[in-house]
Amino acid sequence: MLNTLNNKKTLIAIVGPTAVGKTAMAIQLAQYFDTEIISADSRQFYREMSIGTAKPTKSELSLAPHHFIDSHSIEEDYSAGDFERDALEKIKTLFQTKEIMIMVGGSGLFVRAVCEGLDNLPKALPKTREQLNQRFENEGIIPLQEYLKTVDPVYYKQVDSSNVQRVIRALEVFETTGLPFSSFLQNTKANRSFDIISIGLNMDREALYNRINLRVDMMLKEGLLEEVKSLLKYKNKPALMTVGYSELFDFLDGYISWEDAVAKIKQNSRRYAKRQLTWFKKGGDTQWFDPKDQLGIIDYIQSQV
């Protein structure tokens, strides 16, 4: 039985690497605590991206109310700052009738936006962004990665360097201010009106990598290539400059073979998982569990609430 004597609401954040089982755990906890789920996955917002983002299936969505799934179009730009504002408003509304809320996602910056607030980052000039995007178009991502590694090695170690949007954003800040992006990520946490319990899911690395490889195979069988073809006219949108999409755009453009594209998706997904773990472990306030340990997680939550 939950102890609610402090009259403070609780947000449970379920985090961890891709393919570890966050969606299943979030649904189990939402059912147990009779509550709803906020998705903090920066790609699942978009209606046009489904297979490559591993969205919850219709049957999964029917098991618990979800928010911020299919909430936006790929034609819209939706930032972590936008999500912070909208998610906090939704959480405030839901806490009027719920004692506990579940938030789930592997997008570290979006999780951080809700739990800690974002730093006051400078706004880049449109010309700077345009120049960096043009360089990406002409030269690909590798020169931009090397540039970021040189000017901001601290952030380079943290960021998913295959995410073009994140790399370009960091370089925008550097070129606008002359200061590394990481130097703006030092502010104190924002005060929230609710408690936060961070639950991390992880497993043996070999097992996780096998799950990632199997998930990629399943996405391809479900029609990921056709989904990517349908998004060709949006290929330069930041949301699509991500694992699973960028490799298949390269295949469709004739830059790499099908076999290489599939291998790169798996390799980049594994690298992304490693970076996710680095991000979520650096804070030190996340309690880690095996994704099968539902009872252990519930016991821990009840001991903290």
CA atoms of 78 and 36, how far apart (whole Å): 22
CA atoms of 22 and 84, how far apart (whole Å): 20
Question: Looking at residues 110-130, what average pLDDT do you find?
Answer: 84
The structure tokens 């809320």 sit at 101
Q: Which of 23, 40, 44, 126 is nearest to 80 (CA)?
A: 40
Domain ranges, ordered by start, for the chain: 10-119+187-304, 136-184
DSSP, collapsed to helix, strand or coil, labels residue 286 as strand
Q: Which of 96, 123, 88, 105 is nearest to 39 (CA)?
A: 105
Which are the contacts of 75, defined by CB distance < 8 A and separation ≥ 6?
234, 237
Which tokens in the block code for residue 244?
Answer: 């699973």
What pLDDT is stored for residue 214 in this prediction? 98
Model confidence, pTM: 0.84
* Integer angstrom CA distances of residue 59 from 55, 63, 64, 66, 72: 11, 7, 10, 12, 21
E-assigned strands of the chain? 10-15, 37-39, 66-67, 100-104, 195-201, 286-289
What pLDDT is stored for residue 2 in this prediction? 53
What pLDDT is stored for residue 6 in this prediction? 57
Q: What is the DSSP letter of 223?
A: T
The structure tokens 């001991």 sit at 303
- Tell whether the model's pLDDT for residue 101 goes beyond 90: yes
Q: Which of 12, 19, 16 is nearest to 36 (CA)?
A: 12
Q: What is the DSSP letter of 186?
A: -
Q: What is the DSSP letter of 76?
A: S
CA atoms of 99 and 13, how far apart (whole Å): 14
How high does pLDDT run on average in the chain? 91
Per the CB < 8 A criterion, the answer to whether 239 and 48 are in contact is no
Residue 297 has phi, psi (to 5 degrees) of: -65, -45
Which tokens in the block code for residue 219?
Answer: 């996405």
- Tell whether the model's pLDDT for residue 81 goes beyond 80: yes
- Tell whether the model's pLDDT for residue 1 goes beyond 70: no
Give the residues across from 200 on adjacent strands: 15, 288
Per the CB < 8 A criterion, the answer to whether 52 and 244 are in contact is yes
CA atoms of 33 and 199, how far apart (whole Å): 15
2 C-beta neighbours (distance < 10 Å), count: 11
- Tens of pLDDT, residue by residue over 200-246, are 999 999 999 999 999 999 999 999 999 999 999 998 887 888 899 99
DSSP, collapsed to helix, strand or coil, labels residue 38 as strand
Q: Which of 163, 169, 160 is nearest to 247 (CA)?
A: 163
Return the CATH number of the domain spanning residue range 10-119+187-304: 3.40.50.300
- Tell whether the model's pLDDT for residue 3 goes beyond 70: no
